[in-house]
């Protein structure tokens, strides 16, 4: 509480007790800490193969398979099939990779996308490609190691 001493002829001094204000501050801090909702971390669900699974290859039609190769400087190469494919270059824009994936979803029922990344590719690019799979509705895709044949194919590309 505030005490005011008004003694005759003496200097007037005021003393303010800060204890209740400190108590109020701690009560408010406690109240806001307990009532605040924290953001929950957003995770992406990735299904991994089981460890006991045998090395069995799954046979699929070449026409349903599209391979996406992530390269340096945010470049995205893609091609369909395995026998003499035509390698094309695109980017991560809506008129780039997303348009390619949407066309695949429209023309092919349940397309299979194989994602490969060169050593120079950024981790952000891999996350962006997986996001594009969710946005465009591609249900079947796999992250696969890049092979020397893929690197050779990219070296021959005119881009």
pLDDT digit string (tens) for 67-105?
A: 999 988 888 999 988 777 888 998 888 888 899 999 988
Q: What is the CATH number of the domain that holds 131?
A: 3.30.420.270
Domain count, the chain: 2
CA–CA separation, 87 and 104 (whole Å): 16
CA–CA separation, 117 and 68 (whole Å): 8
Overall size of the chain counted in residues: 159
86 in the same domain as 121: yes
In a domain, residue 50? The reply is no
In a domain, residue 49? The reply is no
pLDDT higher than 60, residue 5: no
In a domain, residue 127? The reply is yes
In a domain, residue 46? The reply is no
pLDDT higher than 60, residue 7: no
116 in the same domain as 77: yes
In a domain, residue 40? The reply is no
122 in the same domain as 73: yes
Residue 131 CA neighbour count, 13 Å, CB half = 11
- pTM score: 0.65
**pLDDT tens for each residue of 120-151:** 999 999 999 999 998 888 888 888 899 898 88
147 in the same domain as 73: yes
In a domain, residue 96? The reply is yes
82 in the same domain as 12: no
Q: Are 113 and 66 in contact (CB under 8 A)?
A: yes
pLDDT band, very low/low/confident/very high, at 27 (cuts 50, 70, 90): very high
**pLDDT tens for each residue of 32-77:** 988 888 777 777 676 666 776 666 666 777 778 899 999 888 889 9
Q: What is the pLDDT of residue 25?
A: 94
- Show the domain range for 10: 3-35
pLDDT band, very low/low/confident/very high, at 2 (cuts 50, 70, 90): low
**pLDDT tens for each residue of 9-26:** 566 678 888 888 999 999
């Amino acid at each position: 509480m505030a005490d005011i001493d008004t003694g005759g002829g003496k200097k007037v001094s005021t003393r303010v007790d800060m204890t209740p204000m400190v108590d109020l501050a701690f009560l408010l801090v406690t109240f806001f800490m307990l009532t605040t909702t924290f953001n929950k971390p957003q995770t992406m669900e990735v299904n991994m193969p089981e460890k006991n699974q045998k090395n069995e290859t799954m046979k699929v039609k070449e026409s349903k398979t599209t391979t996406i190769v992530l390269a340096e400087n945010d470049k995205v190469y893609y091609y369909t099939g395995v026998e003499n494919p035509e390698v094309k270059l695109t980017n991560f824009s809506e008129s780039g990779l997303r348009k390619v994936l949407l066309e695949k979803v429209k023309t092919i029922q349940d397309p299979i996308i194989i994602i490969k990344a060169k050593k120079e590719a950024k981790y952000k690019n891999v996350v962006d490609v997986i996001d594009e799979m969710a946005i465009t509705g591609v249900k079947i895709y796999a992250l696969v190691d890049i092979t020397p044949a893929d690197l050779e194919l990219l070296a021959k590309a005119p881009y």
